[in-house]
Amino acid sequence: MSMQAEEFEAFLSGYDKVALIANSEAVDIEAIQAGLPEKTLYVFFTGCAKVLHRPFIGDAVLCHRLVGDGSKFLKSQKHFDRAHSLLANGLKAEIGVLAGRGMEDGAPAMASPRQSPLVRYTLDFDYDFGALYPQGRKPTTGFAIAIWLAEKIPHANIILCGFTGVAGLQFNMYMEHDWTFEQIMLQLFVKKGRISRFGDGSDTAAGSFSRIQAHFPEFGEAAIALVATNVLANRYTGMERQVAKLWSRTKLERRIRGFFKRFKTFGH
């Protein structure tokens, strides 16, 4: 069935918080569980073995990326087997997410949400949000879930864990996603108080941008923010491309280094 806000809101009503756990190097699951209430629902994604190194104790929802209009999963069976084994004791629901490339402005809206026989709940991001996402890029599954919850169930107490949008040294960040756009959207919801970030209680001032307005008052705050966003987005996208190239070119070296590191550990 398609994911209905009313039914899912009733499902969430028994929890104090809903923690979305990104497959990110920034996630420390023990610290997150220690810092959140006992009645927290944890939302994981298919590749959660990246951040869970032992079976998880707690109530959980598992989200999967769907492709082929819902006819198949994006990830292979081994990812599912591992995720299910890690969440075997507390898995309460599974959600399939459909989210294609951003459409052109003015593209016709979908007549109805797509559904999948593979999972009980199907979230169709393209149907619910139309041309919101930048054209030609695909939303991450975590972003799709976060925005759907914030928009459809505004009273849900959503906590983002590990949603940094910053590349680490181990996990890949795929260029098909617009990480800059996602961080801007998520931070807007944070500013409005509709989403929180775990371990982030700061509100850093714009610094150099505020200096521009102080010196040139003819440039309003909104204009500076819009221009700064466009410039930073362009620069960040360019940096992402370069990082992706470097990551690809050094894959063999990293594998060799990892092999010898494991061999050395085994030898001891």
Give me the pLDDT at residue 202, please: 42
| Residue 24 DSSP one-character state | S
Give me the pLDDT at residue 205, please: 43
Residue ranges covered by each domain of the chain: 5-197, 208-267
Give me the pLDDT at residue 167, please: 63
Find, among 46, 21, 22, the residue nearest to 36 by Cα.
Answer: 21
CB atoms within 10 A of CB 248: 10
From first to last of its 268 residues, what are the pLDDT tens digits of the chain? Answer: 778 888 888 889 899 999 999 998 889 999 999 999 999 999 999 999 999 999 999 999 999 999 999 999 999 899 999 999 999 989 999 999 999 998 877 778 888 999 999 999 999 999 999 889 999 899 999 999 999 999 999 889 999 999 987 766 566 666 788 888 898 899 889 888 899 999 864 444 445 667 777 767 887 878 877 877 777 777 777 777 777 777 777 777 777 777 766 666 555 5
| Residue 148 DSSP one-character state | H
Find, among 115, 162, 156, the residue nearest to 143 by Cα.
Answer: 162
Q: Name the maximum alpha-carbon separation found in the chain.
A: 67
Check: CB of residue 195 under 8 Å from CB of residue 158.
yes
Strands 40-45 and 60-67: parallel
